[in-house]
Amino acid sequence: MQLKVNGRMQQGREGLSVTGLLDDLKIHPQRVAVQLNGTILKRERFPEVVLKDGDTVEIITFMAGGAGEGGAAW
Amino acid sequence: MVTQDPLRLGGREFRSRLIVGTGKYPDNATMQRAHEASGAQIVTVAVRRVNLDRTQESLLNYIDESRYTLLPNTAACYTAEDAIRYARLGREVGLSNWVKLEVIGDEKTLYPDTEGLVEATRVLVKEGFVVLPYTNDDVVVAKKLEDAGAAAVMPLGAPIGSGLGIRNPYNIRIILEAVKIPVIVDAGVGTASDAAIAMELGCEGVLMNTAIAGAQDPVAMATAMRYAVEAGRLAYLAGRIPKKLYATASSPLEGMIA
C-alpha cells in the first residue's frame, strides 16, 4: 500500500501499525507525535492503529528553534 | 539573593530568569555549552517534522532534560488554528502542557497577529495548557491575554532577531503596571545591556535566542546575558535613584578648608 509519510510517498506492508512504521523508520516513539490524516494520535494508540492505503502520516518532534524562525513543518 | 527570588511561572519556580532558544547556533556542542553558561533552566524548541533522511543529529541528544525544561514554541504559525495544532503536537512530543505561543501576522517583521493570539490563548488555556504568548508591546493586548488565562505575557522589545533592544521601555512599563501575570521580554535583545534594561524595568524575565546564538562567541555572550539578567533584577529590587537634571554632591561640604 501507498503511504504519505512527512510529505514523501512510500510503500508499507499490509497490516502495518503506527508502531511498526516507526520501527521501520528507526524512530524511537518516545519523542515523537504522530498525526494521521489530520488527527493527532495518542501515544498509547500507536500499537493498535493499523495504517491503510492512502494514509497521510506526519511524524513530529522537537527541532532547534527560538522564535519565528524556519518554515512551517509541512 | 537571586536564589531567594525565584521566577514563578505556571505554578513552578525557577532560579534563572533567562530563557534561551536552541536555534541558529553554529553547532549543537556550542549550543550545549552556551546553555550551560547562560544558567537558563528553560529552553525553547520548535515543533517540526522528523527528518527521515537523518542527516542531522537529534537536538535532544544535546539537552539534558533533567536540567532543562523544554518549552515548545509554535514558531512560523500564521493562524490561530495552526498554532493550536502545533501546541497540541508539542504536548504529545514533550508530554508537557507548556507552550510558547506564537501566531505570526507578518513575514517581514514577524510581528504577532494579536487577534489570532488571543483566540489561540483562550482555546489552549481551556485545554489545560500553560500558555506563554509572544506579543507586541501593547497594553490592551496584554490585558486581553491575561483575561484569556495566559500564564505570562511576553512582549517583544524589538522584532525577533533584530537585536535592536528595548525600543519602547515606556510601553513595557505600562504593561507592567496593567497586568498581574509575569511580564517576560521576548525578542529584540541584542546585547547584555538590553537584557539588563528589561529587568531594571521590572520584567520577570527575558527570553532570547539570536542574541546568544548569533554572537561571535555564543558561550561568552550567554555568560554576559546571565550576569545582565541577574544585575538588572538586583538593580530593580534595589530601587534606583531618581533621574535629576543637575548635580547633587556626594561628598559633604562641611570640613572644607576656608
Confidence (pLDDT) at A68: 61
Domains observed in chain A: 2-66 (3.10.20.30)
The amino acid sitting at A73 is A
Looking at residue A67, its pLDDT comes to 66
Q: What is the pLDDT of residue B208?
A: 95
Q: Are B158 and B166 in contact (CB under 8 A)?
A: yes
* pLDDT above 60 (res B1): no
Substitution target in B20, B42, B49 with the highest count of A β-carbons within 10 Å is B49
State pLDDT tens for residues B64-90: 989 999 999 998 899 999 999 999 999
E runs forming strands in B74-127: 98-101
Which residues in chain B (85-144) have CB-CB distances under 8 A to chain A? Answer: 85-86, 88-94, 100, 102, 104, 110, 134
The cell numbers describing B28, all together, are 549543537
pLDDT of residue B56 exceeding 70, the answer is no
Q: Which of A4, A27, A57, A62 to mutate to test the interface with B (most CBs of B within 10 A)?
A: A62
Give me the percent of chain B exceeding a pLDDT of 70.
98
| Amino acid letter, B11 | G
What residues of A are in contact with residue B213 (Cβ under 8 Å)?
Answer: 66
Q: State yes or no: pLDDT of B163 exceeds 60.
A: yes
Q: Do A68 and B187 touch (CB under 8 A)?
A: yes
* DSSP at B22: -
Rounded to the nearest angstrom, the minimum Cα separation between B192 and chain A is 18
User: What nine digits make up the cell of B222?
Assistant: 550567554
User: Where does chain A show beta strands of DSSP type E?
Assistant: 2-5, 8-11, 33-36, 39-41, 56-64
Asked if residue B101 has pLDDT above 50, the reply is yes
Contacting B with CB below 8 Å, chain A residues are 5-8, 25-27, 31-35, 40, 42-43, 58-74
Amino acid, single-letter form, for residue A58: E
**DSSP at B193:** H
What is residue B248's predicted lDDT score, i.e. its pLDDT?
Answer: 87
- DSSP 8-state symbol, B242: P
**Taking CB atoms and an 8 Å limit, are A70 and B76 in contact across chains?**
yes
- Contacts of residue B22, defined as CB under 8 A and 6 or more positions apart, other chains included, come to A64, A65, A66, B31, B43, B44, B45, B46, B59, B63, B209
The pTM of the full predicted model, rounded to 2 decimals, is 0.91
Which residues of B are designated catalytic?
A: 100
Mean pLDDT of chain B: 94
Q: What are phi and psi for residue A5, nearest 5 degrees?
A: -115, 120
Nearest Cα neighbor of A17 from A53, A49, A44 is: A49
Look at residue B244 and tell me whether its pLDDT is greater than 90.
yes
Strands B154-155 and B130-135: what pairing?
parallel
ipTM given for this complex = 0.87
Q: Of the candidates B172, B146, B145, which has an alpha carbon nearest to the alpha carbon of residue B157?
A: B172
Cell numbers found for residue B214:
548569533
- B81 CA: distance to closest CA in chain A (Å): 12
Tens-place pLDDT, residues B6-22:
999 999 999 999 999 99
Task: Please state the rounded mean pLDDT for residues B237-258.
Answer: 90
User: Would you call B75 and A68 a contact, using CB atoms and an 8 Å cutoff?
Assistant: yes
B160 vs A25, A59, A68: nearest CB: A68
**Half-sphere exposure of B59 toward its Cβ, with a 13 Å CA cutoff?**
26
Residue A71: predicted pLDDT: 45
- Contact state of B49 with A8 under an 8 Å Cβ cutoff: no
Inter-axis angle of helices B139-147 and B169-178, nearest 10: 30
- Please list the ranges in chain A whose pLDDT falls under 70: 66-74
The mean pLDDT value for B167-194 works out to 97
d(CA B116, CA B185): 20
Number of helical (H) and strand (E) elements in chain A, helices listed first: 1, 5
